[in-house]
Amino acid sequence: MITISLCMIVKNEEKVLARCLDSICDLMDEIIIVDTGSTDRTKEIAAKYTDKIYDFVWINDFAAARNFAFSKATKEYIYSADADEVVNLENHERFRILKENLVPEIEIVQMKYGNQLAHNTVYNFDEEYRPKLFKRLREFVWEEPIHETVRTQPVVFDSDIVITHLPENLHAGRDLAAFGRMWERRQPISARLHEMYAKELFIAGTPENFADAEEFFETSVCDVNRSGDEVLQACLVVARAARYAGDEGKFFKHIMKVVAGGECSEACFELGEYYFAKKDYDEAVIWFYNAKFETSPILNIRLGGERALERLAECYDCLGDEAQALLYRRMIEDGREAN
């Protein structure tokens, strides 16, 4: 049987920390809690489960904090958890079986991260695999009978364990502020973070958030080192920021670049919102219909689903067509029931 170190970084998690630890503590051989500046009872609660509690001065860098936590681990594997996660009884048993049977060749175990859509998070899937269990010390081995080489790719196992995400509040404001600080310092923003920034804006951003992000994404639109997907994301962000600001020229300049490059739900939804605000409901219907039925979302799944249907119903209300409005509202209810 493998041994596992649980590593967590926390701050002001008194409402959820015990819930998380109660669901997994008996599976762990070591519990390491790194506190980044709690002012509530977080450390007091953590002390009921472990004496390995460390302080880490927050430097606006989650990776640095997690690396510090990992550096304190001493067991064969490290399980990384957030305080707002829970492992229910069914998945606790799956985890126990995994612990008893995991072969040492496995270096990363992925688990399904669930309950995402219920909390309007930045992810567009209710369940998705995430790496959660890591071999602490990696063993390099040679492979291939001739032209031998050292295997550098980790051996990854996709488990059937589902981690339930139950946040007490959203982190969009915190995350968007962090992105803003990166841009102010002109820190490089990778392709992955570029997409996450755009997604977070489209899922939870306010008009003020879009205004704050506009300069960065305008720069991305013209950056020859950005991929086509990144330019598409940037155009969508700038277009919405321009719509919020009432800048029709900038709005159409950027939204049409998206449409010309291949329509997506977000571009159609933005055009629907533009014409809805103009009270041109017939034109708005065309674009909201396209958002739902003719295109696919890339940043916010709801704009190609429930939100587009809601807007279609509202358009038909304004047009006095109660039957069509009712049809789309029934589609919304059917979708909710199916989920």
Long-range contacts (CB closer than 8 Å, 24 or more residues apart) made by 287-293: 288/312, 288/315, 290/263, 291/265, 291/266, 292/265
Give residue 125's pLDDT.
Answer: 53
Residues 45, 49, 55, 58: is their CA dihedral positive or negative?
Answer: negative
CATH 3.90.550.10 residue ranges for the chain = 4-165
Structure tokens at 98: 């995994």
- Among 1.25.40.10, 3.40.140.10, 1.20.1070.10, 1.10.510.10, name the CATH number for the domain at 172-338: 1.25.40.10
In DSSP terms, which residues pair with 164 in a beta bridge? 86, 114
Looking at residue 107, its pLDDT comes to 96
Spatial distance between the Cα atoms of 103 and 77, rounded to a whole number of angstroms = 12
Threshold 0.75, pTM exceeds: yes
- Given a contact cutoff of 8 angstroms between Cβ atoms, the answer to whether 81 and 20 are in contact is yes
Q: What's residue 119's pLDDT? A: 45
Position 12 scores a pLDDT of 96
Q: Give Rg (Cα) of the chain.
A: 24
Q: How confident is the model over 275-313, as pLDDT tens digits?
A: 999 999 999 999 999 999 999 999 999 999 999 999 999
> Chunked in runs of 10, what are the mean pLDDT values of the chain (339 residues)?
97 96 98 98 98 96 95 98 96 97 95 68 66 93 80 92 83 84 93 95 94 97 96 97 98 95 91 98 97 95 95 97 96 80
- Report the pLDDT value the prediction gives residue 338, as an integer from 0 to 100: 65
Structure tokens at 310: 């809601």
Give the separation between CA 313 and CA 330, rounded to whole angstroms.
10
Which tokens sit at 25? 């503590």
The domain 4-165: what is its CATH number? 3.90.550.10
The number of helices, as runs of H, and strands, as runs of E, in the chain is 13, 10
Q: In what order do the strands lie in the sheet with 128-135?
A: 53-55, 30-35, 4-10, 77-80, 128-135, 108-114, 156-165, 85-86
Neighbours of 310 (CB within 10 A): 16
In the chain, which residues fall in CATH 1.25.40.10?
A: 172-338
Residue 4 vs residues 27, 50, 74: alpha-carbon distances, Å: 8, 14, 9
